[in-house]
Chain A
Amino acid sequence: MLYELRNLKKTYDGRTVLDLEQLCLDRGKITSLMGPNGAGKTTLLEIMAFLSGPSSGEVWFEQGKVDFTTEKLIHLRRKVVLVEQQSILFTTRVWKNVAFPLRIRGVPRARQAGMVEELLGLVGMGAFRDARAHKLSGGETQRVAIARGLACFPEVILLDEPTANVDVENQIAIERIIQEINQKKGISVIFTTHNMIQASRLADQTVFLYEGRVARSIYENIFSGYIETDRNGCKQCILQYGLRLDVDSQKSGPVRISIDPGAVKIRRDQSNGSAENTFKGKLIQLTDEQSRVRALVDIGIPLSVLVPKAVFGNLDLGMGAEVWLTCPVESIEVF
């Protein structure tokens, strides 16, 4: 076990931003943390990087309880490195940024140059060795920040939305780096993302956070709405653009709902379409995901649907095809 968090709470000005009963993360794995903005992902990364302590609860790292009050914390910090979402480089040359962790660890100067070359090569930034760090683009900055993080020889690297705000070319490069450092160097990687496809492609395990808690449901198809009771006493959630969904909930008023993409039924026609929560839509995106196909269907709102490949093949659907979706009441969770 790499991390174990027990009854962990973090509050800012009386507001609880993180409330985790128990969370265990394995060593040597790639773990993705998902959740909407404000779910507590960055706060959790900062705690796991030992940059800030929890308001209450325990953090266990490598079977040892972490004491956030002692100066020994620096020894733990030297095992874990955090690369922030918008990384900042010191206002100097690229190579000096990568050499900084080496210098503070007392690596002899003669060895530093070779190590810097190797690390910059690993992130594909070898040609930028002497460039001014603040002249780099967002993607290049992120790659140099990862190289600087790797110069710490960490056991764990924490990446906060590493591919946010970078172009496709840099996204591919960063994803390749994540896989390489995990497979070749055995470094445990924990990264946050909003990209479900990226998470399923890279991560061995995924943790979904919602409002500071580990969410039971899959963080996908989350919408804001308003629950009201119709004439027959049935609860309906009214989403944006007037879309109405029958729901099974005791709540009323403003809510958020999530629809399990694996539980949504997709058909070519409206046969059996008398079921509740059936909508006509247009297929706007298809993604291959190992044994399943992810279809994005526009039903007034973009709804993601996961279909087994065999089922999808029988449907014979192409881009732009008209389809019918049915969202069973059980597939809808109300927050």
Chain B
Amino acid sequence: MDFLIDSFLSAVLLIGSLDPGLLQIIGVSLKVSCTSTLIASLLGVPGGFIIAFGRFPMKRLLITILNTLLALPTVVVGLFVYAFISRRGLFGVFDLLYTQKAMIIGQVILIIPIVATFTISAVSRIDDRYRKTALTVGANLLQTAWMIVREARFGIAAAIIAAFGRVIAEVGISMMLGGNVRGFTRTMTTAMALEYDKGQFVLGVALGIALLGVSFGVNLFFNYFQGKVRV
């Protein structure tokens, strides 16, 4: 127990001293996670909207598959993407393995089902009168879709928060596709795993605190944003 308290106190000191190594790890984590969340949102929100309102065969099957993919293990995504981007893979020529791009690709695949599923749920619950109102006041299909997304913005924001939480905390994809290269692809979670292997708990705990701090900050931002626009 003492070691945990000692580690915790040392971690607080490490964060307080703004250790460059620590800041670099946090920076890589934020950069990769924010980029993958942004890309997944740009794909998942419209995708979820189209699935929710579109009429096409096997729609229910597609929703069931997306729901199933919510439980997708990160190592499975890691293996899947690895098969394509390793030197012998289909996209091996692009030399993506052990780069931040590879991590982003893996994370996007991981969280698109989250964003899409939550978006389907959010826009499906929006009162149909919003659609009719937008149409009757002369909105075209794109403007009508935008109004529905706007009304569902709290649910969609929740989808993005959940997706960000998933990627900032995942370790499998970052380790398998990023390779935990110091100063380049080392994220908070891969660094924590490494420090655990080395028996160096101080940096591990410090990174754990930083991870929670970052998540708290992001949620605080979204809460502030939601509170500000809710009328």
Query: Is B231 a contact partner of A84 (Cβ separation < 8 A)?
Result: no
Question: Quick one: CB contact mask for A47-82 with B, threshold 8 Å, 1 for yes?
Answer: 001010000000000000000000000100110111
- Interface assignment of B133: CB less than 8 Å from any CB of chain A: yes
Secondary structure at chain A's binding surface: helix, strand, loop or mixed? mixed
B residues in contact (CB < 8 Å) with A: 127, 129-130, 132-133, 135-140, 143, 147, 150-151, 230-231
What chain B residues lie within 8 Å of A152 (beta carbons)? 137-138
Cα of A333 to Cα of B132 in the assembled complex, Å: 38
A residues in contact (CB < 8 Å) with B: 46, 49, 51, 74, 77-78, 80-82, 84, 86-88, 90-93, 100-101, 104-105, 132-135, 148-149, 151-152
Query: Is B139 a contact partner of A104 (Cβ separation < 8 A)?
Result: yes
Cα of A101 to Cα of B134 in the assembled complex, Å: 9
What chain B residues lie within 8 Å of A49 (beta carbons)? 136
Cα of A77 to Cα of B136 in the assembled complex, Å: 6
Cα of A132 to Cα of B136 in the assembled complex, Å: 22
The residue of chain A having its C-beta at the shortest distance from the C-beta of B128 within the complex is A88
Secondary structure at chain B's binding surface: helix, strand, loop or mixed? helix
What chain B residues lie within 8 Å of A92 (beta carbons)? 231
What chain B residues lie within 8 Å of A133 (beta carbons)? 231
Interface-centre pick from A80, A84, A88 (highest chain B CB count, 10 A): A88
Cα of A101 to Cα of B140 in the assembled complex, Å: 11
Selected from A90, A105, A149, A151, the residue in CB contact (under 8 A) with B150 is: A90
Query: Is A132 a contact partner of B138 (Cβ separation < 8 A)?
Result: no
Query: Is A91 a contact partner of B231 (Cβ separation < 8 A)?
Result: yes
Query: Is B129 a contact partner of A88 (Cβ separation < 8 A)?
Result: yes
The residue of chain A having its C-beta at the shortest distance from the C-beta of B144 within the complex is A104
The residue of chain A having its C-beta at the shortest distance from the C-beta of B132 within the complex is A51
Q: Which 10 A-B pairs have the closest CB atoms?
A: A132-B231, A88-B129, A78-B138, A101-B137, A82-B136, A152-B137, A104-B139, A81-B136, A104-B143, A49-B136
Cα of A149 to Cα of B137 in the assembled complex, Å: 6
Query: Is A74 a contact partner of B140 (Cβ separation < 8 A)?
Result: yes
What chain B residues lie within 8 Å of A88 (beta carbons)? 127, 129-130, 133
What chain B residues lie within 8 Å of A51 (beta carbons)? 132, 135-136
What chain B residues lie within 8 Å of A100 (beta carbons)? 137
Cα of A101 to Cα of B150 in the assembled complex, Å: 16
**What is the distance, in angstroms, from A102's C-beta to the closest C-beta of chain B?**
10
What chain B residues lie within 8 Å of A86 (beta carbons)? 129
The residue of chain B having its C-beta at the shortest distance from the C-beta of A88 within the complex is B129
Cα of A107 to Cα of B1 in the assembled complex, Å: 68
Using A92-B231, A93-B231 as known contacts, say yes or no to A81 and B150 having CB atoms under 8 A apart. no
